[in-house]
Every structure is written in C-alpha cells, then in structure tokens.
Structure 1
Amino acid sequence: MSKTLVMNFLNESGKKTAVRVSNVKEDITEAEVKNAMDVILAKNIFTTSGGDLKSKDSAELTDKSSSKLEVK
C-alpha cells in the first residue's frame, strides 16, 4: 500500500491548491506535516495561476492499493 500526503494551501486569490507527496513514511506525524507546510510557505517555492501560496488550509494522508487483474 502506498501513502500519499496531500497538503492543501490557499493562494493569493483565495483558491485552494494541493501539493502531493507520494510514498511518505508510515509513521509521519502531524507536527512533521505542519513543519513541512510552514517551510513551503516560508521558502515561497511554489506559485500557482492564482499567485503565491499564502496560508495552510488542511492536510490528509491517503492510502492507495491496487490489484492486478489478468485480462489476457
């Protein structure tokens, strides 16, 4: 199973923008996610069509599993 961290920010125009990180470690903590989001905002390394990221909105971990099917 693969975990993806989805960090949602609000940009200058007030629209939500997501930054996704695949294959995060199993034991990631809320504090680590908050810190990562703070660094992203402080370093101003991303921009969107609605301008720079301005504030944290939310974050979530998603699990993805897949099963191969024999169709040949």
Structure 2
Amino acid sequence: MAKTLVMNFLNEEGKKTAIRVNNIREDITDLEVSAAMDVIIQKNIFSSTGGDLKFKDSASITDKTSSELSVK
C-alpha cells in the first residue's frame, strides 16, 4: 500500500496549492509535517502560479491500493 502526504498551502493570491510526497514513513507525525511545512514557507522553497507559498492550510495522508486484473 502506497501512502502519500499531501500538504496544502495558501499562496500570495490566497489560492490553495498542494505539495505531494510519495512513499512516506509509516510513523510520520503531525508535528513533523507541521515543521516541514514551516520550513517550506520560511525558506521559500517552492513557488506557484499564484506566487510564493505563505500559509499552511491543511495536510492529509492518502492510502492507495491497486489490484491487478486478468483481462486477457
């Protein structure tokens, strides 16, 4: 099962933009994600079409599973 961390930010225009990180650790904590989001904002690592990322909005972890189907 592949887990993806989705971190949502608000940019200079107030629009939501997401950064996704695939294959995260199973034991990642809220505190670690919040700290990482703070660093992304402080260091101005990423930009979006609406400008620099300015505020944390939300974060979530999604689980994806896939099953092969025999269709031949």
Common topology (TM > 0.5): yes
Structure 1 unmatched runs, 5+: none
Which residue in 2 is equivalent to 1:58? 58
Which residue in 2 is equivalent to 1:17? 17
Give secondary structure in 2 for the equivalent of 1:61. strand
Give distance in 2, aligned partners of 1:26 and 1:45: 25
**1:4-34 residue CA offsets vs partner (Å, 9 max, x unmatched):** 0000000000000000000000010000000
Residues 1:29 and 2:29 are matched in the alignment: yes
Question: Counterpart amino acid of 1:71?
Answer: V
Give secondary structure in 1 for the equivalent of 2:58. strand
Moved over 6 A (4+): none
Q: Across the two proteins, how many residue pairs are aligned to each other?
A: 72
Cα RMSD of the aligned pairs, angstroms, is: 0.5
Which residue in 1 is equivalent to 2:49? 49
